[in-house]
Amino acid sequence: MHPLIHARTNPDKPACVLVSSQEVLTYGELDALANQAAHLFRSLGLTRGDTVAVVLGNDFEIFVVAWATQRIGLYLTAVSTKTSVGDLAYVLENSGAKALVAGRAYADVAEQAAKQIGSHSLQVFSAAPGRRSLREACEGLPTTLVSDPSPGSDMLYSSGMTGRPKGVKPQLPEGSIEAPIPLMRLGGALYGMDGDSRYLSTSPLYHAAPLRWAMVIQRFGGTVFIMERFDAEQSLALIEQERITHSTFVPTHFVRMLKLDPAVRQRYDHRSLRAVIHAAAPCPVPVKHAMIDWWGPVIHEYYSGTETCGITALDSAQWLSKPGSVGRAVLGTLKILGADGEEVPSGTQGDVYFADGPRFEYHNDPEKTRQAYNAKGWATLNDIGWVDEDGYLFLTDRKSFMIISGGVNIYPQEIENLLITHPDVEDAAVFGAPDAEMGERVVAVVQPRAGIAGSAEFAETLRRFVREGLGGVKCPQQFDFRSELPREPTGKLMKRLLKAEYEVAYRGA
């Protein structure tokens, strides 16, 4: 199934809707625009395996470019709308992009980045002076499919724990552009996605999961409702108003919805929901219990990464029987390895690997690619966890976030999961900061709830709260307070930025 089929059979059906303006793009319009863009890229000399980069907000144009690249064998590299000139220039150069499509709001950044790399082979489409927009460049081009279609893919850049982001490059698919993809099969089998799906897109479409799931819905012939940015109450209103059947969230979104006034939460009807899917970050057990109590057994979870070398998943009933788990493998085979690189028994903590999953590489970085695979060809996302006797995976933390304090391994995720449940905490980040005596000390940076002051007294309250819940060893030695923590628009905590601040302060002390 594919949008071009829906364009023939149901051309007037909405492929996507901008909820802010209620503007609609039909399948007939999407297919025609994608075909024109495909002809444009071909006319510029782009061939199978080449890359098109975009800096686009949550609007129709990102789908036009995505479906254009998908039908002529190109890679799509979507770049954050928060990008700096330097970071965009790096991605353009590293990816070898032959074309860049930028939204009006990002035209200046795109222009400066293009000048910085000084590539004469890069074609830029934007609203900058002297440039043409993508739509202007496509005027008059054929609205029919190219004569030799070829399936493309995305090559998205992971945010990266340290240093520059990495371009995650899968192998290009072969065969028909209409052939089902693995994520489509999972969406149908696990979540009941089909042509009647009405999907609420809550996160930036330049990220892997939001873009990929939205495109899966369009493969089925459903409708994607696009939020410009996440808002807790607006999400509830849209679920009722648009009779949303499917949506994806991150745990931070759950927390924000749960902390709305109970009267506000009860105002909206959510009975149209068939599957609510969350991923991207660990969900505290009390938060997930609360969501299932509120919305019923429609909450689903999966664990994967931009690399998609494997996927685990579970539904509400499975999670209630295995609280804290991220599920069993539905793509690839789970392997837990010890420090010696050998498999460990069930219940034993180690590095999480997937065998038998799709292959990928980090673009232009064979060393990082090598580090992602072991000698048996199994791939890792650099997480730590364990598998129980029934094959359910429990994650401990990311390997790079583990704190070693006085020789003791401490995993900040469980501390964060506890802190966020305190009624006066809006958000929390826990990490290791350099310490002359202990090697690292455990630091908690907390965003208090509105009206709560960050003070020594509040810090002591939280210290007691953690000590009672997790014991003294895991209790942060230092509590600091911020009005807001650095999170990506998806809700993903950018903890590396906080760690870098404390490292700089330590070196300067």
119-123, 381-385, 492-496: segment of lowest average pLDDT:
492-496
User: Could you tell me the two tokens for 479?
Assistant: 């509590």
Residue-wise pLDDT for 54-65, tens only, equals 999 999 999 999
In this prediction, residues 177-201 reach a mean pLDDT of 95
What are the residues facing 405 on neighbouring strands? 408
In this prediction, residues 91-116 reach a mean pLDDT of 96
Share of the chain above pLDDT 90, in %: 78
> At a CB cut-off of 8 Å and minimum separation 6, what does 407 contact?
439
- Cα 208 to its chain centre, rounded Å, is 5
What are the residues facing 355 on neighbouring strands? 333
Residue 152 near residue 126 (C-beta atoms within 8 A):
no
Handedness of CA 249, 250, 256, 259 (dihedral sign): positive
* Dist. CA 203–CA 210, nearest whole Å: 6
* Dist. CA 455–CA 474, nearest whole Å: 21
Q: Flag whether pLDDT at 80 surpasses 80.
A: yes
Residue 289 phi, psi dihedral angles, 5° rounding: -55, -45
Who has greater pLDDT, 448 or 471? 448
Residue 333 phi, psi dihedral angles, 5° rounding: -125, 125
pLDDT at 509: 56
Report the mean per-residue pLDDT for the chain. 93
- pLDDT category at 162 given cuts 50, 70, 90 is very low
Who has greater pLDDT, 259 or 297? 297
In this prediction, residues 279-298 reach a mean pLDDT of 91
pLDDT at 464: 95
Directed axis angle between helix 456-470 and helix 412-419, to 10°? 120
- pLDDT category at 120 given cuts 50, 70, 90 is confident
Residue 234 near residue 228 (C-beta atoms within 8 A):
no
In this prediction, residues 486-507 reach a mean pLDDT of 81
Q: Flag whether pLDDT at 166 surpasses 90.
A: no
Residue 153 phi, psi dihedral angles, 5° rounding: -155, 180
Name the pTM for this structure. 0.84
pLDDT at 161: 44
pLDDT at 244: 98
Q: Delineate the domains of the chain, giving CATH numbers in brackets.
A: 28-160+167-175 (3.40.50.980), 180-327 (3.40.50.12780), 332-401 (2.30.38.10), 410-508 (3.30.300.30)
Residue-wise pLDDT for 29-45, tens only, equals 999 999 999 999 999 99
- pLDDT category at 506 given cuts 50, 70, 90 is confident
Residue 111 phi, psi dihedral angles, 5° rounding: -65, -45
Residue-wise pLDDT for 374-408, tens only, equals 999 999 998 989 999 999 999 987 777 778 776 67
In this prediction, residues 306-333 reach a mean pLDDT of 96
Residue-wise pLDDT for 247-265, tens only, equals 999 888 998 899 899 999 9
> At a CB cut-off of 8 Å and minimum separation 6, what does 225 contact?
16, 17, 19, 198, 199, 200, 201, 238, 242, 244
Residue 200 near residue 247 (C-beta atoms within 8 A):
yes
In this prediction, residues 449-453 reach a mean pLDDT of 91
